Structure formats: C-alpha cells, structure tokens
Amino acid sequence: MHKNTTTLAAGLVALLAGSAMAQPIYLATSGSTLYRAEQGGVATTFALSDDITNLLVAPNGDILAISSTENGSGNFEVYRLIGALGNSPSLQIVSDNLPNSYPAATFVGDTLYGYRNGSRNLVTYDIDTGVETEIGPSAPMQGPVGGAAYDAATDTFYAVTRGDDSLFTVDYAPAFDPDATLVGNLGIDVFNMGLEMYQGSLYGAFEDTTNGQFVAGTVSTDSGLFMGDTILFDGALDGAVGFVVVPAPGAFAVLAAGGLVAVRRRR
C-alpha cells in the first residue's frame, strides 16, 4: 500500500510540474468571431451567434459575453459562453435587458462595473434586477475606454483607453469621484482592446494599428508597457474586442489526480 501511495504521489508531482509549465488559454472576440489560443500558440477561430463587445469572468466562474448590437427592445444581451474549450463554443442567453453596451467591464466582488458604451462614464449594473447605477466619469482618461480588469489581491481597478494608448488605475468606489491615475503608455498604437487579470498578472488583447495585428500578451502594472506574445489575427478586426484568460485544460487533470491520491491514502 505504501508503494502504491508513493507511486501515485510521485505521479502527482510530475503532473503538477507539467501544469506549472502549461500556458494559459486566451479567449478573445471581435464581431461574431471567437479566437482561442494557448499563450504563444496559434489561434483557432469559431463563429458565434451574435456580435460580442466584451468577455468577462463572473464570480461563479462563468464566462459572460456582452453583445454589441441592440435587440428589438433597444437593449443589449448578456450571454454565457458555453464550451469555450470545446469544439463548438456557443452563446446561451442570460439577460436581454442590458440598457447600454459595456466594451470595458469587470467584476469587483459580486458587482459588475462597466464603462457605458465605451465612454468614460463608469456605472454598476445588477444583472438580476436590470438596474444600472451611475458612478461618474473617470478623468483625466481620454475615451473610448476599451478594457477593464480588477485585481482583488491589491484592490486595484485597471482600465485602458484608445485615446491615450495607456493603462490607468481607477478610484472606482461610489463614495469617491472615479478619478483615474496614469500608470504608463502601452508602447503601441491601439484601437480595439480588452483587459484581464489572471493569477496575479495583467493580460491584454489589442488591435495594434502599428503592425496591423490582433495581439495578446501581458501588461506591466508598474510601467503600463504591453508585451505581446501571441498573434490572434493578422489584419483589421471586425469590431470591439472581448478578452479573458482561462487555465489550460491540464490544470483540471491535476486536480483529479490529487483527489485520486487522497482516496488511496484513506484506504
């Protein structure tokens, strides 16, 4: 029994080592196209049923997608992205009541914050009640604001803008004017963009007009400088960008293996 446990434990260590080296998965949208690529890899594309302006990860782990086109009621849809790592990703409706589109949005705890229609006006939105609450304009950023992300570990709200080609931190609390503080220039000329905090690092996906490419990579929270590592598309895009980062599938195998070791040890 001791031998079996030792063997399983050694296998788990090997799996953990492999998982540590596994690259995260980039998911990005432009128009109705979903781009998926391992960091540093080649992108695969999928067709979605609606044009998407933003992707974000909900507190329960769901990947939400916000539409960029009004429905028949003059509102916008919020979808759940289903099967994001499978062969046929699809959209499942969550709400068709969003009063404005949010090209830049992120969750702070359970609260959804978004920049209304890409402007500098920060709002909160309750998906359950359909209530949008004004926070205020984020000065001195020059809109449109195209990406937002929140770092819970440091309680820092980040935003990127097309007018400035720069990264900012934002005073998001309702008790304060949501003033923005410049972190630094991205180092590229950007058009459409998305931002995501993942495992303590800030990631971004940008339509780089300097090179005519859609590129994903990391953004320095010290200087604002963008370091692209994955070309998602070579050419002009078809609309606003949504972007999230998710674990590589191998991470789930490690968790399963950990459960197996625990079962064997209890025997």
Q: For residue 6, is it within any domain?
A: no
| pLDDT score, position 49 | 96
For residue 38, which amino acid is it?
E
Backbone angles phi, psi at 29, to 5 degrees: -130, 155
CB distance 131 to 111 below 8 Å? no
The whole-number average pLDDT for the span 193-197 is: 96
| pLDDT score, position 175 | 62
| pLDDT score, position 200 | 95
Q: For residue 256, is it within any domain?
A: no
| pLDDT score, position 22 | 73
Where are the alpha helices (H) located in the chain, listed in sequence order? 2-21, 250-266
pLDDT in tens, 212-256: 999 999 999 999 999 999 999 998 887 889 999 999 886 544 444
Of the two residues 1 and 160, the one the predictor is more confident about is 160
Q: For residue 124, is it within any domain?
A: yes
Q: For residue 145, is it within any domain?
A: yes
| pLDDT score, position 33 | 96
Q: For residue 162, is it within any domain?
A: yes
**Helix, strand, or coil here: 117?**
helix
| pLDDT score, position 241 | 93
pLDDT at position 210 over 90: no
Confidence band for 40, pLDDT divided at 50, 70 and 90: very high
Q: What total number of domains does the chain contain?
A: 1
CATH number at residue 193: 2.120.10.80
Confidence band for 197, pLDDT divided at 50, 70 and 90: very high
Q: For residue 160, is it within any domain?
A: yes
pLDDT in tens, 109-163: 999 999 999 888 999 999 888 899 999 888 888 878 999 999 999 999 999 999 8
Instruction: Give the Cα separation of 59 and 65 in Å (integer).
Output: 14
| pLDDT score, position 130 | 87
Q: For residue 202, is it within any domain?
A: yes
pLDDT at position 93 over 80: yes
Instruction: Give the Cα separation of 21 and 177 in Å (integer).
Output: 42
Q: For residue 258, is it within any domain?
A: no
Q: Which of 44, 84, 81, 47 is nearest to 64 (CA)?
A: 81
Confidence band for 17, pLDDT divided at 50, 70 and 90: very low
CB distance 89 to 83 below 8 Å? yes
Instruction: Give the Cα separation of 96 and 22 in Å (integer).
Output: 37
The whole-number average pLDDT for the span 83-97 is: 95
pLDDT in tens, 52-89: 999 999 999 999 999 998 888 889 999 999 999 999 99
DSSP label at residue 22 = P
Instruction: Read off the tokens for 75.
Output: 């509102």
What is the extent of the structural domain holding 215? 23-247
pLDDT at position 257 over 60: no
Question: Among the listed ranges 113-117, 202-206, 224-228, 260-264, which one has the minimum average pLDDT value?
Answer: 260-264
